[in-house]
Amino acid sequence: MVAEVLRLRGDCEVVGFLDPRPDLHEEMVAAIPVLGDDSLLPALRKRGVNHFFVGIGGAGDNGPRARLFDLATAAGMEAVMAIHPGAMVSPSAKLGAGVTVMAGAIIGTGARLGRNVLVNSGAIVEHDCVIGDHVHVATGAHIGGTVSVGRLSHIGLGASVRQCVRIGERVLVGAGTVVVSDVPDDACVVGVPARPLRAANEEEKH
């Protein structure tokens, strides 16, 4: 999907994918060759490949996205931004390195997105939000105005976050969850309204 967005930009060429699975090496995926694994990064940099993108999402754990971003950056490459032409991004929004914004997504006035943030299809990040590094806002999620989301957090499919809420770091907001109050670091919340997952499991036992 990210490669398709970059093709639609029309100003860059995707020379290949890197993947840890040996069975994919030298295969073609979406008419793009799989060159090998991540150990090729230094050699590609020497050959003049100066940019990269992170092509994996994060289903609750954005650590792998962050590690790939840091690995390619350490190899001397620069993260390319992938903004779908069907997305709406306010001219006053500030986007960090490697931000990906998919089709139909909206980034509101004054929003600030950190490095390697993924805003998936149809998601909304409203005005004056602050989204930390390596956050994934999943498909159809809606984040109200002036919300802050800490680094490495995941806002699940179709979730909603009320305006002015603060979400900590490494938080998992489950699919369809409605967040109406602040969420601390390392929490996992689900339901309408959002509650800690442990509490939800305890209720099910009774």
Q: Tell me the catalytic residues.
A: 127
Rounded distance, CA 62 to CA 69, Å? 11
**Residue written as tokens 């770091």?**
169
- Give residue for tokens 């690995």: 71
Give the closest residue to 135 by CA, choosing from 148, 145, 126.
Answer: 148
Q: Are 116 and 134 in contact, with CB atoms under 8 Å apart?
A: yes
Residue 157 corresponds to which tokens in the numbers above?
A: 């499919």
Report CA Rg, the chain: 18
> Cα–Cα distances in Å, from 122 out to 19, 49, 195, 200?
27, 31, 25, 28
- Do 171 and 187 contact (CB within 8 A), yes or no? yes
